[in-house]
Structure 1
Amino acid sequence: MSTTAQVGTDEGGIRLDRWFKRYYPDITHGAVEKLLRTGQVRVDGKRAKASDRLQVGQAIRIPPQLQGKAAEATEPREPTFNDGDKKLIEKLVIYEDQTVFVLNKPSGLATQGGSGITKHMDGMLEALQGKKRQRPRLVHRLDRDTSGVILVARTVPAAATLSEALRHRDARKIYWALVKGVPRPHKGIIKLALAKETGFGRHGKDERMAPADEDDAHAKSAVTYYAVLGTAADQYAWVALKPVTGRTHQLRAHMAAIGTPIVGDFKYGGPAAKGMGELEDRLHLHAHSIDIAHPEGGRLRATASLPPHMVQAWRLFGFDAKRAEDPFEELSAR
């Protein structure tokens, strides 16, 4: 027989999957997704998604198999991190105040757990908690192989405020990428809807996003501004990217669609994404900066330095990251 749990006064605004991680730390993200997909977990009697934001007082249906397994959030429990994790996550902090952390995520480290993923940023955040009662929370995510700026809220209200700013596009996120070829013209906007494509990969079990017609029932509109900041013999380009929408793999799919795949992105660029001998076969995509409304007023602006494999590429081509100007200055934060 199922039971219900009520969303507490300090839990308004957090994602449903994060709520489960708080009270059921041993459950995997994939297991939560399955419970939601099959309707075994509901919010106020209705089906819900992992990304849904909770409101104080809402009732969450807990299926029978999870009963008796909840961990009280106020009870001491074993840390989810080790000394190595603590040193790593502390090293990644590039800004902090009473309500927010900004981290520079390295390429190759997953943002959250999932099938087969045991080491991820979300599992290390408790190391940043200090003496505060509330555990830090991820506000958004980056692909595993994408590096750069990640926002972490130190309180539930801060998480809600930052999430709201992202949802209403009151944030200015700039990415840097090294692409194969040079986009023409050097500055423009890509308006190309994307839809999930199945049957991809060696065994036909992978998925990726593919260009689609706006009228396709499964398509989602996607818009990206781009600008070339530097070129190398018309074979490579340093490109700044400003996503207007936030679709899965949007930047990767858009750059491949215009014939200039991101170096190291074999999922979307295929063999054409392979760089010259001295370039590493890693994704050359970096969340360079963010400008977003701060939970306590004003603006939060942060910039993350390039990861080692991109520093190597910039040196190889003579690109000077320190002299780069904002090519989208005339655009509003939205």
Structure 2
Amino acid sequence: MSENSVQFITITPEEEGQRLDNFLMKWGKGVPKSHIYRIIRSGEIRINKKRADVTSRIVAGDVLRIPPIRVASPESPAVLSAVSLQNAEKIVQNLPILYEDDALLIVNKPSGLAVHGGSGISLGLIEALRIAKPQLRFLELVHRLDRDTSGILMLAKKRSALTILHEDIRNGNMDKRYIFVAHGPFTEGLGHIALKYPLHKYLLANGERRVRVEDFGQESHTVIKFLGQAQDGKSFVGEAQLRTGRTHQIRVHLQHHGYPILGDDKYGVLEMDKLVKAKRLMLHAYKLVITHPLSKEKLNISAPAPKGFEIQNKI
């Protein structure tokens, strides 16, 4: 965040449905709650150029106008120091680029790197890119990956590209696939499994976001394919294809179906993870097929899975 200039933020599909005040409090860690409410009620916060109410629900594609805000936390990404610049350059230098042109930047995000700052994280991937590449006048996340999920992440370098890609996500016009390692044994044959559990987002007492299966939740659809037994002999490797893009969708769907992902500190089983010595969340976005938002060319992007996702006898 910058404390000296107005910012425009485009809401991603993963962020939609939140109340405006809740979104801003998470976005502006360190900003007093009273200040958040004051700037909303005074009309300084705008959604699509219109005044907004505290209880307004944000929708994917909405553009928020946020006035200059001074963040209280000394760890805020607003404070650009020499250390921040050095850290940003280090992140970007070690970030594999899978595809780039005037409209898109697609990278292979490592596990452990948050896509944006907040909640005690001074620099996320998006802030690091903006700092290290000041020549980019526009750079926004098209979608998100959880901090501990690795793999393909898309960013837009033009607002027109961002708008079209968000529309494609809403209409299901992207093929996004993940590879995972889950606790087994897998007992449902070798075919595909359609998981359609409705998902509901909620907050813990400390403000941390969680998701659970609820009858009144949002419609959600994940297709699971068994790929083979994992090399540890106690778990299995599978592919997950997203048909919808809800928060923590793959993790919660698999956990609810009886196959928690290895290394999942939110929805997994710690005792089982210790047995197989899981060192990270074993979820990796490895394949993406999209239509380029401007050229209309078909793009087939892949990011090889890191070590640990191998199938027994098929390395």
Q: What TM-score do the two structures reach when normalised by structure 1?
A: 0.70
Q: Which amino acid in 2 is paired with 1:247?
A: R
Distance 1:168 1:273, change over 3 A: farther
User: Which residue of the partner structure matches residue 256 of structure 1?
Assistant: 255
Structure 2 unmatched runs, 5+: 16-25, 71-79
Asked if residue 126 in structure 1 is aligned to residue 130 in structure 2, the reply is yes
| SS of equivalent residue, structure 2 residue 268 | helix
Matched residue count = 276
Report which of the two structures shows the higher radius of gyration computed on alpha carbons. Answer: 1
Q: Is the 8 A contact 2:91 2:125 kept in 1?
A: no
1:1-334 correspondence to structure 2 within 5 Å: 14-15=10-11, 28-30=27-29, 35=36, 39-40=40-41, 41-43=45-47, 44-47=50-53, 48-49=56-57, 52-54=60-62, 60=65, 62=67, 66=69, 82-92=85-95, 93-127=97-131, 129=133, 131-132=135-136, 134-181=137-184, 182=186, 184-186=188-190, 187-196=192-201, 206-213=208-215, 216=216, 219-232=217-230, 235-271=234-270, 273-274=272-273, 276-277=275-276, 279-296=277-294, 297-307=296-306, 311-314=307-310, 317-320=312-315
Q: 2:6–2:66: 8 Å Cα contact kept in structure 1? A: no
Tell me: CA distance 1:174–1:196, structure 2 relative to 1, closer, same or farther (3 Å): same
Deviation at 1:89, TM superposition (A): 1.6
Superposition TM-score, scaled by structure 2 size: 0.74
Say what the alpha-carbon RMSD is for the aligned residues. 3.6
For residues 101 and 197 of structure 1, what CA distance do their matches in structure 2 show? 32
* % same residue: 28
One-letter amino acid of the counterpart of residue 137, structure 1: E
Tell me, yes or no, if the aligned pair for 1:146 and 1:286 is still in contact at 8 Å. yes
Q: Which runs of 5+ in 1 are unaligned?
A: 18-26, 68-76, 321-334
* CA deviation after TM superposition for structure 1 residue 305, in Å: 2.2
Distance 1:95 1:312 in 2: 25
In structure 2, how many angstroms separate the alpha carbons of the residues matched to 1:142 and 1:33?
28
Which whole-Å deviations, capped at 9, do the CAs of 1:195-232 have from their partners, x for residues lacking one?
23555xxx88755212211xx2xx11111100011114
For residues 37 and 306 of structure 1, what CA distance do their matches in structure 2 show?
Answer: 47
8 Å Cα contact 1:80/1:123 also seen in 2: no
